[in-house]
Structure 1
Amino acid sequence: MSEDTAQEFAVEFRKTSYNGYQSFSYLKPGQDYEEYKLAKDLGRVPLHDMGLDAEQDARTRRLIDENIIISLHDHPQIFPDDISEVRGYIRTGREHTSYLGLSKSGMTAVFDNMMDGTACVTSKFGWKWDDVIYDLGMRRADLAKQHYARIVYDVDDIRAAKDNGQVGIVLCLEAATPIENEVDRIDILYGMGIRQMGIAYSEANGLGSGLKESRDGGLTVFGRRAVERMNDIGMAIDVSHSGDQTCLDTFEQSTKPVLITHAGARAVWETPRMKPDSVLRACADGGGVIGIEAAPHTSLSHAHPQHSIESVMDHFTYCVELMGIEHVAFGPDTLYGDHVGLHKIFAQNLGVHVAHGGPEYTPVPYVSGLENPTENYYNIVGWLVKHGYSDEDIIAVTGGNILRVLQQIW
């Protein structure tokens, strides 16, 4: 899709340095790697109508154009148009990044979580050290062949991305499972560019318990060593998929703020995937930030049980009231393609049904208003504008709070 054609499928912000590069275009598809028909990165679903008037629309665009906008958690990769082909696609080791989509998003930086638990290059079950390194190396090779996206190593790189019309890519892992019992692997990952890592995903690992476990034993002795090493080296710690006690132990152990990069409030929607008040308060007490989650069928609410941006913002308003607005941001956890279908295919790997188990809800094919990384921040900022938030508060929750915490961690 050309940039001119793409304009009708995305809101336009200030011009970026994107020059049309597409992932792995330095190779010959079908010869150097197996080619798959990919989903549309723009125009896969209709744009969500936020109902903004001309003044609100102008203010929304200005706030995004003038300020640093950061997603605390996303997967800006393009998946196969036929999501049933996803395992074969992953086995090529070459997930394509939507540079075009990112260039239309208004984002300054995105915490990019790569394949993560779907890193099944050689194994069906993910989280293997070799597969994660394979994925990381391939992504870095692709990033090295273009000039629009830059890998973020520190806060100065985020500011430079803003100044240069680029997007910053913060390389992340949702769980420390691949380090096994080797604390020095944290250093290796840091050396390869990883700047944020989770404690555990759905299943327990050597560090602590995940959301899938019926009993949460908390942070292990090795987990405490790992937290100390991440503090020492300057790697941000995430507990989004960790069990409640493991979260609390991590906050207590860490000498630096801890992130909940993508979750919501259990008081709003009663599932293990959402966090109880005790965890949310402890995160804020330690100086941390939560990114509000929007992946399909996660952050619903009783007021809006059909998942949409309105459901997500119910979690936002609750967390702001409980934690203080200085501790809240957004980690939409979106991608380009059929996210609902992806969850179904990887349900066993990711523990989706266990983590999402709770009240009944109406399934949706996608989350209207927060379906992909391109549309997220126009709609988030537009919602905040429409609901009377000040410029100061909007700047804080869409980037400022994250920057403040990263300066302490990195």
Structure 2
Amino acid sequence: MQEPAPRYQGHKSYEYLEPHSDYRVFALAPELGRVPGHDLGLTDAQQQRVTRLLTEHIAISLHEHPVILPEDVRELRAYNRTARQRTGYEGLSRSGLTAVFDNFMAGASCVTSENGWKWNDLVYAVGMRLSDVYKQDYVTLATSVADIHAAKRDGRLALVAGLECSSPIENELDRIDILYGFGIRQLGIAYSQANMLGGGLSEKSDGGLTHFGRRAVDRMNKLGIAIDVSHSGDQTSLDVIEASRVPVFITHAGARSVWDTSRMKPDEVIRACAERGGVIGIEAAPHTTLSEKHPHHSIESVMDHFTYCVDLVGIDHVTFGPDTMFGDHVGVHNTYAANYGHDAGNRPEHPRVEYVSGVENPAEAFTSIVGWLVKHDYSDDEIAKAIGGNTLRVLEQVW
């Protein structure tokens, strides 16, 4: 974990409002020290190299939910219904990141519906969070590659607003333009369950990208919105990659050849993404990127997927989208399993963990990842590509 960024001045979410009067107060999970740190066994020289690499190079997490959860996970639904999820500014200030793709947990906001992904809930989730971002001077909304470079230069952290799912647009193509106007620069096609655009990974059959989905991909291309197929079905993913005029992201997933579940991507999809210039971000949410070699989910399991994908398509097409948050991520999955639908399908037996050691939250994830890469003798150039350079290359084409 890095020292706090000098630009961070201690802002806490909604501190400009009056607690209990303007918003409901919840006891929150700690941003730092909730679980024991993960010891990679680095030497002092290796640790210094980690710090140098994160200082010198742009580091971008391709997928996170950097919000602070309630300390008592049983309060999660009540907390999310208020639409005032707290951003973990202090934790982000220690992350070493230059930019973070923030996916706003719109499917869990459930302000107007227990099922989430409603247009009004999405507007609440994005509007409330960004209203708070605009009231401080460390995290800044990024809508261009230039904004990411400016954040690096100025000691800030660039937040890229993204959504994992396009279900809230329903059959209204112009809502994509509205989202672009709100600052959204990354959109997923489907979140596990099928929608108007295409199939989700939890469905038994996947009919692929729909006619409306092709029109939506075209509109995203015209606007300059990065497309994500992480939760899309295999055929839909292939169709999107083929239909898009610019490279596509798999922002947070792993390799099905390493861990055989529908949540992971088959070699065919990973190759197709890379062949069109795209990038896969390796996932680390609990009980996703496991491996037979490391069935207790930890950074070692995660990196088994990284090394496999690098061997499959080359290091120019692999990065990281850890998909972490501040608090009990396992509890989130348990609370919203029926809503999310991503636990469907083949699920090999494996030990359950309370957290993913080494990549438990946004404050520690990239420090641990860079530490692992340093320990395993990756070059500075390879590490720079894997932690941000590859993502920047795609964004320069997409945005």
Q: Same fold (TM over 0.5)?
A: yes
**CA displacement at 1:29 relative to structure 2:** 1.1
Equivalent residue for 1:262?
252
Residue identity opposite 2:369 in structure 1? I
What's 1:233 paired with? 223
Q: Which residue of 2 aligns with 1:247?
A: 237
Is residue 186–residue 228 contact of structure 2 (8 Å, CA) maintained in 1? yes
Secondary structure at the counterpart of residue 344 of structure 2: helix
How is 1:4-15 mapped onto 2 (pairs within 5 angstroms)?
10-12=1-3, 15=5
- In the other structure, the counterpart of 1:23 is 13
The amino acid that maps onto 2:121 is D
Match of 1:366 among 355, 362, 370: 355
Question: Where does residue 303 of structure 2 map in the other structure?
Answer: 313
The answer on whether the counterparts of 1:73 and 1:333 sit within 8 Å (CA) in structure 2 is: yes
2:97 matched residue in structure 1:
107
Aligned with residue 281 of structure 2, among 288, 291, 299? 291
Separation in 2, partners of 1:174, 1:353: 16
Partner of 1:211: 201
**In structure 1, how many angstroms separate the alpha carbons of the residues matched to 2:172 and 2:340?**
23
Which position in structure 1 is the counterpart of 2:393?
404
Shift of 1:358: 1.9
Once the two structures are aligned, what percentage of the paired residues are identical?
61
Q: CA deviation at 1:116?
A: 2.3
Residue in structure 2 matched with residue 164 of structure 1 by the alignment:
154
1:187 is the counterpart of 2:177 = yes
Distance (whole Å) between structure 2 residues aligned to residue 176 and residue 298 of structure 1: 22
1:365-404, CA deviations, whole angstroms, 9 ceiling, x for partnerless residues?
A: 0000000000011110010000010000000000000001
Q: Following superposition, which runs of at least 4 residues in structure 1 exceed 4 angstroms of deviation? A: none
Note if contact 1:39-1:336 (Cα within 8 Å) is conserved in structure 2: yes
1:106-163 alpha-carbon deviations (Å, 9 max, x no partner): 0000000012211201110000000101111111110111010000000000000011
**Contact 1:320–1:328 (CA under 8 A) maintained in structure 2:** yes
* Alignment partners' CA distance in 2, 1:16 and 1:219: 46
Residues 201 and 342 in structure 2, CA contact (< 8 A), matched pair in contact too: no
- Letter matched to residue 360 of structure 1: E
User: For residue 333 of structure 2, what is the aligned residue in structure 1?
Assistant: 343
One-letter amino acid matched to 1:375:
E
What TM-score results when the alignment is normalised by the length of structure 2? Answer: 0.99
The correspondence of residues 20-169 of structure 1 with structure 2, limited to 5 A, is: 20-169=10-159
Q: What SS does structure 2 have at the residue aligned with 1:353? A: coil
User: Structure 1: how far apart are the matches of 2:99 and 2:33?
Assistant: 22
Q: Is the 8 A contact 1:343 1:352 kept in 2?
A: no
Is the contact made by 2:373 and 2:383 (CA closer than 8 Å) also made in structure 1? yes
Corresponding letter in the other structure for 1:192: F
Return the alpha-carbon distance in structure 2 between the equivalents of residues 353 and 243 of structure 1. Answer: 14
Cα distance in 2, alignment partners of residues 96 and 140 from structure 1: 11
**1:290 counterpart SS class:** strand
Give the TM-score taking structure 1 as reference length: 0.96
Residue 196 of structure 2 is aligned to residue 199 of structure 1 = no
Aligned 8 A contact 2:106 2:121 in 1: no
Hey, what's the Cα distance between the residues in 2 that align with 1:144 and 1:188?
19
Distance 1:304 1:117 in 2: 30
**1:376: which partner in 2?**
365
Question: Match of 1:334?
Answer: 324
Cα distance, 1:330 vs structure 2: 0.2
Instruction: Write the distance in 1 (CA, Å) between the matches of 2:3 and 2:244.
Output: 41
Distance 2:149 2:117 in 1: 32
Q: Distance in 2 between matches of 1:184 and 1:65?
A: 40
Say if 1:119 and 1:131, in contact at 8 Å, map to a contact too: yes
Deviation at 1:16, TM superposition (A): 2.9
Does the 8 A contact of 1:94 with 1:135 survive in 2?
yes
Report the Cα distance in structure 1 between the residues aligned to 2:119 and 2:2, rounded to whole angstroms.
39
Q: Which runs of 5+ in 1 are unaligned?
A: 1-9
- Number of aligned residues: 399
When the two chains are superposed, the root-mean-square deviation of aligned CA atoms in Å is 0.8
Q: Secondary structure at the match of 1:56?
A: helix
Displacement of 1:66 in angstroms is 1.0
- Aligned counterparts of 1:378 and 1:409: Cα–Cα separation in 2: 28
Contact 2:187–2:228 at 8 Å: present in 1 too? yes
Counterpart Cα distance in 1 of 2:342 and 2:207: 21
Structure 2 gaps, min length 5:
none
CA 1:352–1:84 in structure 2 vs 1: closer, same or farther (change >3 Å)?
farther
- Aligned equivalents of 1:51, 1:333: Cα separation in 2: 24
Residues 292 and 315 of structure 1 are in contact (CA less than 8 Å); yes or no, is this contact kept in structure 2? Answer: yes
